[in-house]
């Protein structure tokens, strides 16, 4: 919530990077994005 306001479009980039390294979302599931 606050990360999107603070970092803007960089949040989408960070989500994409996490999806590349953790496509099944097993590392810290449900955290931040």
Report the pLDDT value the prediction gives residue 1, as an integer from 0 to 100: 66
pLDDT at residue 27 is higher than 80? yes
* Distances 24 to 9, 21, 30 between C-alpha atoms, Å: 23, 9, 12
Q: Give the range of the structural domain holding residue 26, as residue numbers without chain letter.
A: 1-33
Report the pLDDT value the prediction gives residue 4, as an integer from 0 to 100: 78
- Higher-confidence position of 4 and 12: 12
What is the count of structural domains for the chain? 1
Rg (CA), the chain: 10
* Distances 33 to 5, 15, 24 between C-alpha atoms, Å: 14, 7, 13
Of 3-7, 18-22, 26-30, give the range with the top mean pLDDT.
18-22
Q: What is the pLDDT of residues 5-18, one digit of tens each?
A: 888 889 889 899 99
């Amino acid at each position: 919530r606050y990360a999107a306001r603070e970092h803007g479009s960089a949040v989408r980039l960070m989500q994409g990077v996490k999806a590349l390294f953790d496509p099944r979302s097993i590392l810290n599931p449900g955290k931040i994005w």
